[in-house]
């Protein structure tokens, strides 16, 4: 049975994983070792290992724009004691302060990414499952967590240029906006050029292979 403080440590790590793009598998592994030691053969350790895998898959689905992705439930202790079950509700109901990033927070990240060559936090994560994130998509957006109308925690993306918000950061959503974003072209010219080149490449591939009609992307002169 998990001690109450150990459960809270795992719960806090779960919230941090959903809210903070820089909190990834390495940080999760550290928390697991702190709680269970190096022996992961116990029932609780196995349940939490399975949970982290499911949580990574859930996050990957969000990045792919799968809107009906279901967040996995956190494991409960074997004896189902109230001390462990009571905080369970808080996993979904994260604090508004943690979820509502201000424009100042995003502007701070823009400044940092200008200084570090647009090395977004997600690019530094170790990807253990699913497809690796598309680097251009990641660089075009600032990623945050938020609650939708049903109260489910989900990802939202703000244009790194003009701060326009979208719920899907796949290339077919990110590129059309990027190509018509005056602020991106003005303040992030190299990134804008990468988006323009990618749009031209994608349009050419679709036209040559005959897979589908090329998307109408309005390229600025």
Q: In the Cβ-directed half-sphere of 35, how many Cα atoms lie within 13 Å?
A: 27
Per-residue pLDDT at 177: 92
Which pLDDT belongs to residue 215? 47
**Residue 184: inside a domain, yes or no?**
no
Q: Is residue 191 part of a domain?
A: no
8 Å CB contact between 200 and 219: yes
Looking at residue 161, what is its pLDDT? 92
With 0-12 / 13-18 / 19 or more C-beta atoms within 10 angstroms meaning exposed / middle / buried, residue 136 is: middle
Domain limits at 65? 4-169
> Which residues in the chain come in under a pLDDT of 50?
78-101, 205-216, 221
Is 117 domain-assigned? yes
The structural domain count of the chain equals: 1
Has residue 198 been placed in a domain? no
Residue 14, domain member (yes or no): yes
């Amino acid at each position: 049975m998990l001690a109450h403080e150990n459960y809270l440590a795992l719960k806090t790590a779960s919230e941090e994983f959903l809210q903070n793009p820089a909190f990834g598998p390495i940080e999760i592994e550290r928390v697991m070792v702190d709680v269970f030691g190096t022996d992961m053969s116990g029932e609780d350790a196995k349940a939490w290992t399975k949970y982290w895998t499911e949580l990574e898959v859930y996050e990957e689905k969000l990045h792919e724009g799968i809107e009906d992705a279901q967040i996995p439930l956190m494991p409960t202790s074997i004896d189902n004691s109230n001390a462990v079950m009571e905080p369970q509700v808080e996993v979904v109901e994260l604090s508004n302060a943690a979820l509502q990033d201000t424009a100042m927070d995003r502007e701070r990240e823009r400044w940092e990414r200008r200084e570090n060559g647009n090395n977004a936090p997600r690019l530094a994560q170790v990807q253990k499952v699913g497809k690796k994130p598309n680097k251009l998509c990641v660089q075009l957006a600032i990623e945050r967590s938020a609650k939708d109308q049903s109260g489910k925690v989900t990802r939202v993306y703000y244009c790194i240029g003009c701060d326009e918000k979208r719920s899907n950061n796949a290339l077919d959503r990110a590129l059309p906006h990027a190509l018509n974003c005056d602020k991106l072209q003005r303040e992030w010219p190299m990134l804008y050029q990468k988006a323009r080149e990618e749009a031209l490449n994608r349009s050419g591939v679709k036209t040559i292979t005959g897979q589908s009609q090329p998307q109408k992307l309005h390229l600025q002169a």
